[in-house]
Structure 1
Amino acid sequence: MKAASVKEIKTELNHRSTQELLELCLRLSKFKKENKELLTYLLFEVENEEGYVLSIKKLMDEQFSAINSKSFFYVKKSVRKILREVKKYIRYSTKKETEIELLLYFCEKLEAFRPSIKRNQLLKNLYNRQLDFIKKKIPTVHEDLQYDFNKELELLPYL
């Protein structure tokens, strides 16, 4: 089965009643955890973006503290998993400020992580790629925020 395009889906949804749309959303939420997470964000978190960002930062803190640091193999695996989840939460929010703030926080946590990531090339590359990505995203936000984000970015060294 070939999936319909977004335009086709949008036109079809315009022809549906409110009750049918409600049933479609509920049915969609039953299939994948990501669908349910996105609906949760759209219904409950959109108005409180700061609370959303804080909850993700708290989740990152918990995940970084739970990393098995006995071997760089486990550290790499865990850091990649954390970044993958952060990127997923960033996709839910369409705000560039949220994206930059969460990636800056991820880089701060990674740079402060012990054992130091300076001893592992893969982790250094991952960290530096995120810093480059943040630098490209900063010009897309408001000037006041650009200044604040640039100040935060200056505190993070390239490895």
Structure 2
Amino acid sequence: MKPATVAQLKKELKHRSTDELLQLTLRLARFKKENKELLTYLLFDSENEARFVATLKEEMSERFSEINTNTFYYIKKSVRKILRETKKYIRYSNSKETEVELLLYFCEELKNFSPSIKYNTTLVNLYERQLIFIQKKIDGLHEDLQYDYNLELKELPL
């Protein structure tokens, strides 16, 4: 089955009643966890972006504290998982400021992580790639925000 394009879906949804739209939305939310998470963000968190970011930072800190530090293998797996989840939440928000803020926080947590990531090439490379990615995202922001975020970014290098 080939999925319809966004334009086709939009056109079809215009012809549906509010009850039908409600039923379609609830059915969609039942199928995938990501759909439910996105719907939760849109309904409850999108109006207060600062609270959303604070919640995610708190969750990220908690996840970093739960990392198994026995070997760098477990550390790498956990760090990648945290980054993957962070990027998923960034996609929900669709805000460049939120993206930069969360990625800066991720890098800050990773830099301050114990044992130090300096002893593992893979983690250092991941960290440096994120710094480069953040710099590219900062360049697309308003000048005042660029200045503030660039100050934070300068404090991060290992």
Question: Which has the larger displacement, 38-47 or 1-10?
Answer: 1-10
Q: What is the rounded CA distance, in whole Å, between the counterparts of 2:139 and 2:40 in structure 1? A: 30
Q: What is the rounded CA distance, in whole Å, between the counterparts of 1:48 and 1:143 in structure 2? A: 23
Structure 1 unmatched runs, 5+: none
Corresponding residue SS for 2:147: helix
Residue number in structure 1 paired with 2:129: 129
Corresponding residue SS for 2:41: helix
CA deviation after TM superposition for structure 1 residue 5, in Å:
1.1
CA deviation after TM superposition for structure 1 residue 3, in Å:
1.0
Alignment of 1:8-157 (within 5 A): 8-157=8-157
Structure 2 unmatched runs, 5+: none
Letter in 2 for 1:39: L
Over residues 14-48 of structure 1, what are the superposed CA-to-partner deviations in whole Å (9 max), with x where a residue is unaligned? 11111111110000000111100000000000110
Question: Which has the larger displacement, 51-60 or 139-148?
Answer: 139-148
- Structure 1's consecutive aligned runs of 4 or more residues displaced over 6 angstroms after TM superposition are none
CA deviation after TM superposition for structure 1 residue 141, in Å:
1.3
Letter in 1 for 2:12: E
Over residues 78-124 of structure 1, what are the superposed CA-to-partner deviations in whole Å (9 max), with x where a residue is unaligned? 00000000000000001100000000000000000011101111101
Over aligned residue pairs, what C-alpha RMSD do you find?
0.7
Q: Report the TM-score when normalising by structure 1.
A: 0.98
CA deviation after TM superposition for structure 1 residue 7, in Å:
1.1
Corresponding residue SS for 1:67: coil
Letter in 1 for 2:81: K
Question: Which has the larger displacement, 50-59 or 140-149?
Answer: 140-149
Q: Report the TM-score when normalising by structure 2.
A: 0.98
CA deviation after TM superposition for structure 1 residue 143, in Å:
1.3
Corresponding residue SS for 2:64: helix
Q: What is the rounded CA distance, in whole Å, between the counterparts of 1:71 and 1:124 in structure 2? A: 15
Q: What is the rounded CA distance, in whole Å, between the counterparts of 2:73 and 2:84 in structure 1? A: 17
CA deviation after TM superposition for structure 1 residue 142, in Å:
1.4
Q: How many residues align?
A: 158
Q: What is the rounded CA distance, in whole Å, between the counterparts of 2:142 and 2:45 in structure 1? A: 22
Over residues 53-74 of structure 1, what are the superposed CA-to-partner deviations in whole Å (9 max), with x where a residue is unaligned? 0000000011000000110000
Corresponding residue SS for 1:24: helix
Q: What is the rounded CA distance, in whole Å, between the counterparts of 1:20 and 1:125 in structure 2? A: 49
